[in-house]
Every structure is written in C-alpha cells, then in structure tokens.
Structure 1
C-alpha cells in the first residue's frame, strides 16, 4: 500500500504515522469460574428481595367506609335508646256557658243531681264582767254534737227529744228534730245539732270528743251504725250559788262575745273546706249555746259562750257537671271542671229550709268556662309502644275530653312511641 503524502509540508506525513487514540471502557474484572461440585450442598442466597409494590388504596377506602358505618350504627342505637322520648301536647275541650238561674241540691243525691255536704266548726270565747252579789241557779249542761250515719245510703229522721247516751250512762237530748243524711261514696252522712243534759248539775259537764250512742236503736242494726261525737265541751251544768251579774252587763258581754264568735267561726269554716270543695255563700248558720257563768277573780263573773257554724259545701266537679247537664246539649256526664270562677257567682236561696237536711236551692249568675278532664296517665299508657300512625286512633278514644293533640317523637326517625311510660310526657294547653 502506498503512502499518501501532502506536498509542500515541511515534514512528511503518512497515515502510518498517525496515532489512533482508543476510548474503550475498561473491562470489568470477572471472577474466575469455579468448578461446580454436584455433590456439594448448594447454598442459597436469601438476601434477595423483590422490589416492594404499593398495595392499592381501594382496600383502605372500604375499611374507612365500614368503620364509619359501624360508628354511625352504634351512635344511632345509643341515640334511639338513651335519648328516645315523646312529647304530646293536648288541648282539652272547653265550652263557655252562661250559668243557669238555679240548681237543686240534695244531701246524698242520686247520680245526675247535685249533691251537697255539711261542714261544722265550734268555737268558744270568754269575758269577765263585774259581779254584784250571788244568785241561786239550776242549769243543765249543753253542747254541740255531730251525728253520723254509716247504716245506709238512706237518710234517717231523729225526732225531738231523741236520747243520746254517754259512756257513763248519762243521757242528753235534742230539742228539735233532725234528719241525718245517708252514706255517700263510702263516707258517713253527718249533721250537727245541740244536745242538753237530762238533768242540771256539773256532773253532766264533759270535754270534747265524747262518743254517744242512741238508746232507741238498741236491738236494731242501727244501734252500731249510728253514733254521735261532741264537737267541743258540753258545759254549763251547775246547781248552787254563782256570782250575780247585772242584766245590762250580761247583755253587753253577750253581744261582744257573739260578735267575736261570728267572726271566729266563719274564718274557721273557711279554713276547714277540703280541697276541691266550695262553701256555698249564704249557707253558713251560726248557733250560739247558752251562756255559761262561773266565778272569776277579783269579784267578777266569767261569762263564756260557744258557737257552732254549720254550712253547705259542694264539690266543684259536681257543680260543674250539674251546670254542663243544663247548658251543654250533648253532655252525658263526662268529668268537667271550671276554668276560672271570676265571672261566676252563687248564693243559697233565702227561702231554703235545711234544718232537716232536705233539698236546697242555689242561685247562680254570670258565666264560666267548662274544661273537660282526661287522665294523663291513662293516655301515656295507651301510647306506649304504639306506632306513630296509630296516634290519632288513640286520641279518638279519649274524645270528647280531648279536642286536639299533637305528638313529637325523638329521635325524629323513630316511627314508634317509647316502650316505657316514663319517656312520654303530656303537656296540657288551653285554647
């Protein structure tokens, strides 16, 4: 092969004279191969691990969903049990009525007729007056008793001079006839009257609370079912000398004592009226016992007088029912009460005679609101564990007492009322 030469160059060049630079990568040293011994135990290098692949996030998502659902389920169950309850708002039926002019009332009245009861209180008062010498007296003791009838629902008339026997055998009599009312609702019929000792003298004076029998009923079942009890002391019995009092001084003392006793007995009667009853205005009768005179200090005489006030009272529910019978056409005896008596007035008719416990006439005027009554506990028990769809059916069973009712159940998704009565509350509202 011929050399290629470039002319005119001071030094001769030839392709053979060009050095070639090599850029090869240095070779990796290779470990010498070892002879394999098929009979030698093979050692496995278990340090190798495949590269870690990330687990898909889909599994974690479902775990979260399931956890949330479980928490929600437990929370819902707790709310449904711990915070469960129901509130029922009830609007009872009401009627505005003008009062009837009169009503008839009877002691131990039959169903549909207004019934009355009597109330009796006794008070005493004393005053010292100047004494002028002495005087001889022979006076019988007297006092007020309450006669009771537990024999039957029928009334019993006791004629004038009927005898009442004390435990020691002493006899006392009534001077006017009386009629003892019959039993009502398992309670004794009662009436008050004044008894007088059969003989004068201090031996017939007794304290309060003495129980008497009626000798005329011996051998009859009424003997053990009619009785009487002294309301206060039976006093005034005396035979002998006592301080003399001028008639004018005695009259002045008597007037002052009776004025005080009138006020005291009226106040006491008002305090003795049981809850739910109404004392009929104008019905209170006050009877004064005989003056009891005794020796006082420093040449004075002590004048003592007692008074018994007897009045007529009616149960407000019975009065409201009697008014409803007269003024509400479709009324058939449901429980009603007055919703306020500010515009209502009543008074015992002045023509009424009730000395023997007979019927009385009550005058009424003004207007009143009648409110029908229902039993909240009965309504609660009727709603226990009922479906909400049955609510109106339950309410209908309480008509006409309930005019309108609404229910709210907690939590809101519950479709039933609670299964225990203590989780149901009744709120009564007026129209």
Structure 2
C-alpha cells in the first residue's frame, strides 16, 4: 500500500495558490473604478479532490443595490406592492364600515310620579285636546229560588192579536167590544175593543177583502186557551153569524201568540226574606257584570266602576213549582271608558311640570279612584258631558318612538349624537354603541340602528 506523505513546506519552484498572479482585464481597468473594500468579494477558487489547484480566477462582483458612484438604488416594485396593500386595506375598511356597521342606542325616558286629586270634564264629542269618553252598557239578570208559602189564587186569561177580514161586500162593518169569536180549537175569544172592518175592494180585477187588526182575549182563564202562532188552529168565526152566509165571509186569522192564560195558586215569601235575598242577588250581579265588562272592554281603554253606574230593578215574584218562589233581580251597568293614552296625556298636561305636552303612558292608571262630581247624575247615552274626580298616585312615563329616533340619527356623525338626542324632549338620557367602535358616523340605513328603551 502506497503511503501518502503530507508536506508542510512546498519545495522551491512549486507555486502556491496564494502566489498565482491575478491578471485583470485591461478593459475593466479602464471602465471600472475602485470598488470600496466594504463591498468587495474574495476571489473564487476551484480545487480538485487531490488538493492541487487546477485554476483560479477573480473578477469584480457588484452589489445589486449599488450603482456606480457608490449610491444605493431604490427597489421600486417593492414600494408599489406596499402602497397597493395599504390602499386595499383602506378600501376593505371602508367596505366594512358601509356594509357591516351598526349602532345600538339605549335611551331612558323621562318619568315622574304624580299625586292626582283634581276634577276633570269628559265629553261625548270632544274637540282636539279635550277628554272624551265612551259608554259600555251591559244587562244581566240573577235569581234565587226560596221556599214559599201559599198565597192567593191567580186566574189570568190568554190574550193576543188577530186580523179580521170583510169579504162580504164593499161596505165597512163595525163590531163592538166583547163580540164573541170561535177559534179553531173550539174556545171562545172576545174582542177587547170596538173595531170597524173596511169593505172589500177590487185591485187589478181581483177582489181584495178589507182587513183590520184587533186584540182578543180568552172567554175564561186557563192554560187551555193559550194558542201559539205555530199551532195553526184555523180561522176565527163570528159566533153571531152562525147559519148565515156572513159566517164564511167575515173571519179572523191569528197574528201573534195568544198567551198568558193560567189558573194557579201563587206562593209568596215574607218581605224581609225577599229583601235580604234581593240584596245578595244584587251584590253577586255587580261582581259578575264588572268581570264581564272588564273582559269585554278594549285593551287600550280603562274602565272605572267606582261610581253609582248600576241600575237595579226588582222583578215580580214567580212561583217555580208547587212550593217554591223565584226572586229575580235585573241590573243595568253603564261603564265609563276612557282611552288610556288620552287620559294619561290629560293627567300630564294638568298635573306634571316636566311632562306637559309630551305623549306619556300612565302606570297603575286603573288604581285611581273615580267618582262622579254629581252623585245623583245618571250617565246614559244621552249624556253629552259630565264632571268627575280622580284621586290617587300614578307614575307618568314619556313615550319613546324608536323609529323617529333612528331616522334622525341616519348618517349623522357621532359627535352630533348629543344634539340629536336633545331635540327629543321625551328622553332623559341616551347612550350610543357603535359597531365597529371606531366608526365615525351612524349607519345610513334605519334597519342598522337599534333603539332600546331601558
């Protein structure tokens, strides 16, 4: 095996790579100036695997960012890219503001607790600024069945209306009161008063009998004399004309039910018992009718029932069966209705110092005590106006109109917010939240501005 010998010192005549003279191009000498050492590069060296040097060359290398004279040149493409990036960012920012911006405005309305204790006037047909009212009328009956004691015997005759016809001749015919008429049920009825039946006439070649309405009553009391119109009992005949041609040409026909006939023994109750029962019935009726009125009234109206607006009527006692009596009471309720908003505004204009002239809502409006100025006054549909009092405590709260506020803020700069809010007298304080938070103006669409009452 051949042993490799390393030599630390080269013999004379052998050239080291460091001793290779570097020949510079004559043209380069003429054209290139001396390059500062700070930007010069070492010569490029190529060496074989054996460590011997085959060739070596050195040439001046220029920095791409340096021009002749030592000045650094500007990289224009890179600057353009930065400018375009900044412009794009600004464009996207504007797009975000225009299309994704929104605002939330939280407002606190003005409010005031007031003590009411004044007299007001309500009118059926109010003018602008006056308080109007409406009337709700309800009727209801109530009854209670109580044991009775036998009373007097009651006999009543049936009564009703018929039409009498004259198809005998063209002359009028008079029939006196109590003229007897035979009905189709075989019962006798009588005329209640004297009547005259006109004679028959001819219309368009046809004979038309004369006619007149008459009231009849049963000859005797009793249920058997009652005739319903739907029973179709046939014609009434004049008993006096029996066997005469006039029997068929003078006749009557039922127009209404003939009713009311009865023969019975009534039952009664002592006056003190009846009065106590009627008092209970009235109290129950009052409670029931107030509930019905409250359920039926429109939601935007307030109903006061603390006034004497109840009219009671005691109906006659009615025997229910062989031993009991029905005690019946009737009530007519005239409820006074006020429109909530109008009444609240009236309270604000007459009682409040800070909310006068501002649309308001009144809390606990139903809790105020209502009373007629004239306790004996009966309010009805014919009443044009009346005076009343309201007493109690209520809280007035200014109405907030979100759409109006949002509309006034469209496109406004954020620094104008206070001026816009100041124009809304109903607002106590307000706070605006912009999204994005650095947006300088409110959105240009009412849908992007949310107004919240707190």
TM class, shorter-length = 0.5 to 0.7
Q: Which runs of 5+ in 1 are unaligned?
A: 1-20, 26-51, 141-198, 204-236
Change beyond 3 A, Cα 1:24–1:333? closer
- Checking the alignment, whether the CA contact within 8 Å between 1:106 and 1:115 is kept in structure 2 is yes
Q: Return the alpha-carbon distance in structure 1 between the equivalents of residues 266 and 281 of structure 2.
A: 18
If you compute each CA radius of gyration, which structure gives the higher value, 1 or 2?
2
1:312 match = 336
SS in 2 for 1:121: strand
CA gap 1:66/1:114 in 2 versus in 1, 3 angstroms? same
Q: Which residue of 1 aligns with 2:261?
A: 240
Per-residue Cα deviation, 1:236-256 (whole angstroms, up to 9, x for no partner): x97232672313375565444
* Aligned equivalents of 1:305, 1:345: Cα separation in 2: 28
List aligned pairs for 1:182-331, cutoff 5 A. Answer: 239-241=260-262, 244-248=266-270, 251=275, 253-283=277-307, 285-289=309-313, 291=315, 296=320, 300=324, 302=326, 304-328=328-352
List per-residue Cα deviations over 1:45-95 (Å, max 9, x = no partner). xxxxxxx99998978966885686477457535643554211122233334
SS in 2 for 1:270: helix
SS of match in other structure, 1:370: strand
Counterparts of 1:333-372 in structure 2, within 5 Å, are 333-340=357-364, 345-349=369-373, 351=375, 353-355=377-379, 356-372=382-398
Taking structure 1 as the reference length, the TM-score comes to 0.53
Instruction: Find the counterpart in structure 1 of residue 141 from structure 2.
Output: 124
Partner of 2:131: 114
Q: Find out whether 1:402 has 2:427 as its counterpart.
A: yes
Displacement, 1:109?
Answer: 2.6
How high is the TM-score relative to the length of structure 2? 0.51
Q: Secondary structure at the match of 2:444?
A: coil
Unaligned runs of 5+ residues in structure 2 are 1-10, 16-60, 66-73, 160-215, 218-225, 228-257
SS of aligned partner of 2:333 = strand
Distance in 1 of aligned mates of 2:344 and 2:84 = 63
Total equivalences in the alignment:
294
C-alpha displacement of 1:291:
2.7
Give 3-state SS (helix, strand or coil) of 2:133's partner.
strand
Q: CA deviation at 1:310?
A: 1.5
Q: Does 1:135 align with 2:159?
A: no
Task: Provide the rounded CA distance (Å) in 2 between the counterparts of 1:372 and 1:293.
Answer: 56
